[in-house]
């Protein structure tokens, strides 16, 4: 899975890259918030991101807010990785739209475990999105007749929206996927036997 790293600390960035690649992530690195935002605006942005709080230009929480206000990025899983360790900072960071908050210095095994949670959520969201698309496609191929149909009380023709009176089987075959095979019911057979 692709993951974006946005941190102005070149040492930590390299260390993150090496660890994440060992854990089979595909890493995209950015040294500041503006560069990260540019990557996010590309057609297929990484579905996960690790962001520093304090970066030149756009900081982590501001970037989180931008992401959450952008419908195309609503599923992005964001971890704020910061040395801002107060409870208020953590609340502010999470309220800005981050999914998780890790305080530096951190434990590599803990980061790996938290990334696995993010990976699982993103995978579930992607599977759900794919299923919704399949259902939408299936739904668009199903034609359903609804609404009020004007029908002649005697001959049972139906008036269409162009004011033509159509045989009921013709109307239904145009407005649904139903097909007709003609036969004679027992009552009609008795009634029309002599004709």
Partner 1 sequence: MIARLGGDEELARQLVTLFLDECPRMMAEVRDSVAQGTPDLVRRAAHAFKGSVSNFLAEGPTVTAYALETIGRDGRTADAPAVLARLEIEVDALVAQLRAFDASR
> Is 184 near partner 1 (CB under 8 A)?
no
> Is 14 near partner 1 (CB under 8 A)?
yes
Query: How many Cα neighbours within 13 Å face the side chain of 150?
Result: 8
Burial code of 128-137, b = ≥16 C-beta within 10 A, e = fewer? eeeeeeeeee
> Is 83 near partner 1 (CB under 8 A)?
yes
Closest separation between CB of residue 64 and partner 1, Å?
19
Nearer residue to partner 1 within complex by CB, 113 or 152: 113
Binding-site member from 26, 69, 72, 108 for partner 1 (CB under 8 A): 108
Cα 48 from Cα 169, distance rounded (Å): 54
> Is 10 near partner 1 (CB under 8 A)?
yes
CB atoms within 10 A of CB 187: 8
Cα 109 from Cα 94, distance rounded (Å): 22
> Is 15 near partner 1 (CB under 8 A)?
yes
> Is 54 near partner 1 (CB under 8 A)?
yes
Stretch that binds partner 1, among 7-15, 42-50, 90-98, 183-191 (CB under 8 A): 7-15
> Is 68 near partner 1 (CB under 8 A)?
no
Q: Is 66 left (phi over 0), alpha (psi -120 to 50) or beta?
A: alpha
Residue whose entry in the numeric block shows the structure tokens 């999470």: 94
> Which residues in this chain contact partner 1 in the complex, by CB under 8 A?
8-12, 14-15, 18-19, 52, 54, 83, 104-105, 108
């Amino acid at each position: 899975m692709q993951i974006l790293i946005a941190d102005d600390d070149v040492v930590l960035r390299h260390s993150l890259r090496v660890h994440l690649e060992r854990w089979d992530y595909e890493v995209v690195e950015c040294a500041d918030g503006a560069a990260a935002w540019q990557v996010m605006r590309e057609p297929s942005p990484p579905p996960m991101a690790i962001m520093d709080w304090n970066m030149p230009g756009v900081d982590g929480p501001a970037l989180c807010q931008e992401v959450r206000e952008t419908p195309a990025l609503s599923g992005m899983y964001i971890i704020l990785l910061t040395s801002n360790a107060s409870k208020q900072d953590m609340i502010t960071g999470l309220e800005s739209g981050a999914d998780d908050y890790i305080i530096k210095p951190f434990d590599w095994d803990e980061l790996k475990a938290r990334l696995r949670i993010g990976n699982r959520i993103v995978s579930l969201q992607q599977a759900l999105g794919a299923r919704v698309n399949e259902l939408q496609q299936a739904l668009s191929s199903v034609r359903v007749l609804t609404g009020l149909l004007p029908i002649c009380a005697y001959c049972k023709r139906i008036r269409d929206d162009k004011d033509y009176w159509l045989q009921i089987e013709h109307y239904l075959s145009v407005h649904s996927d139903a097909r007709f095979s003609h036969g004679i019911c027992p009552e009609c057979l008795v009634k029309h036997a002599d004709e």
